[in-house]
Copies of this chain bind each other. A is one copy, B any other.
Amino acid sequence: MTSTKKPRARQLGIPFDGCPGPLNAITDVPGVKVGFCTLVEGEGKLTIGKGPIRTGVTAVVPRGKSNLDRCFAAWFSLNGNGEMTGTTWIEESGCLEGPVLITNTHSVGVVRDAVIGWMQQQKAPPQWCLPVVAETYDGFLNDINGFHVQPEHVLSALNDARSGPIAEGNVGGGTGMTLYQFKGGTGTASRLISFSQDQGYTVGVLVQANYGKRDQLRVAGIPVGREIEDLMPITGEEGTVDSSAPGSIIIVIATDAPLIPVQLKALVKRASLGLARNGSIAEHTSGDIFIAFSTGNRVPSGLGTDAVDMLANEQLTPLFGAAVEATEEAVLNALVAAETMSGINGNTAYAVPIERLRAVLRKYNRLLL
């Protein structure tokens, strides 16, 4: 199911700026763990409640599964045709309490309540929970109104959360997604920033990418989408091209840089600029919603006053660049990792053809390898 055997975007020779971390993944940020539950069952005609099923759940756990300590956090909506629960509390408190989950549009509720159940099982359960759960729409391939995500799938994704390399493409919440009218899904990337020999930070990004019209796709500035006009998604019943899909992208930015919430608010906005590099115009029907958190502080809680670390504002720009670059690359990692998938009624989204993609870049003298 996972697509980790395929080469990643930079291995194909696509040029990127900046210096990635060892895994080029959000898990390069120390402590961050990612887990998936992928649901793929059935083929053929849609019977609501029966399938076919092409969906799942992705879990990003900021400090590992046994540590619910709050993290400074912020969020931003570039275009708000989507849901990310828990954002009102993030905006108010400047903190994320617990994991970030991503699933399909119509399963946000079940995932939210299941996260509460999971948090209540922890050693020191909070009195109340306001979980963060986001979504993109997979109704082109998945029986989205069949509500197939169940609480056990949420626990499965949370329990699966781990350090190390991350599966990309058709996994977790990204299972049934499309991207620039190719197959899309989950992608990740990271950047290292060095301020001095002793001081350096990591910015990691994970995306669930499900947006865009073909002719908008740019790779390294090259209008690739206009040079690969075929392989459009087809509706199985009619065999015709589908062009109606509402799209969305959820972007999670993690960093160990000690940023306070107002700085994370600035950082999270930069996801917009990374998106734009791949050609996004943030269409009206897109839920382009982003969250950033920092593991670089233990946030004071309870009684009294405590010290927190804060990077000087004057040092923010390299982090902004890292967020832009890692977002750009994470989306392309999702694109190149995803494999062709058929779902309800035989509807099909095609994987981007790797060699043709490379040929286009070569034509424009933009291929590195």
Among A91-99, A231-239, A330-338, the stretch that binds chain B is A91-99
A82 interface residue per 8 A CB criterion: yes
Asked whether, in the complex, the Cβ of B283 is within 8 Å of the Cβ of A320, the reply is yes
Chain B residues in 8 Å Cβ range of A137? 128
A69 to chain B, nearest CB (A): 13
Chain B residues in 8 Å Cβ range of A152? none
Return the 7 tightest CB-CB contacts between A and B, nearest first: A221-B221, A80-B92, A276-B276, A109-B109, A109-B113, A94-B262, A109-B112
Give CA–CA (A88, B132) in the complex, Å.
13
A127 to chain B, nearest CB (A): 7
Chain B residues in 8 Å Cβ range of A324? 276, 281
A273 to chain B, nearest CB (A): 4
Give CA–CA (A85, B85) in the complex, Å.
6
**Which chain A residues in 242-297 approach chain B with CB under 8 Å?**
244, 246, 258, 260-263, 266, 269-270, 272-277, 280-285, 287, 289
Among A36-44, A100-108, A166-174, the stretch that binds chain B is A100-108
Chain B residues in 8 Å Cβ range of A82? 88-89, 130
Interface 1/0 per residue, A52-95 and B, CB below 8 Å: 00000000000000000000000001111111111111011111
Give CA–CA (A87, B303) in the complex, Å.
31
Among A176-184, A350-358, A359-367, the stretch that binds chain B is A359-367
A1 interface residue per 8 A CB criterion: no
A312 interface residue per 8 A CB criterion: yes
Chain B residues in 8 Å Cβ range of A109? 108-114, 116, 133
**24 A-B interface contacts by CB (under 8 A):** A80-B91, A89-B287, A94-B260, A105-B128, A106-B128, A109-B112, A110-B113, A127-B139, A195-B304, A222-B366, A269-B282, A272-B276, A275-B276, A281-B321, A283-B320, A284-B314, A284-B316, A285-B317, A300-B310, A305-B312, A306-B312, A307-B307, A308-B309, A365-B365
A305 to chain B, nearest CB (A): 5
Chain B residues in 8 Å Cβ range of A120? 145
A218 interface residue per 8 A CB criterion: yes
Chain B residues in 8 Å Cβ range of A128? 105-106, 137, 139, 144, 246
A129 interface residue per 8 A CB criterion: yes
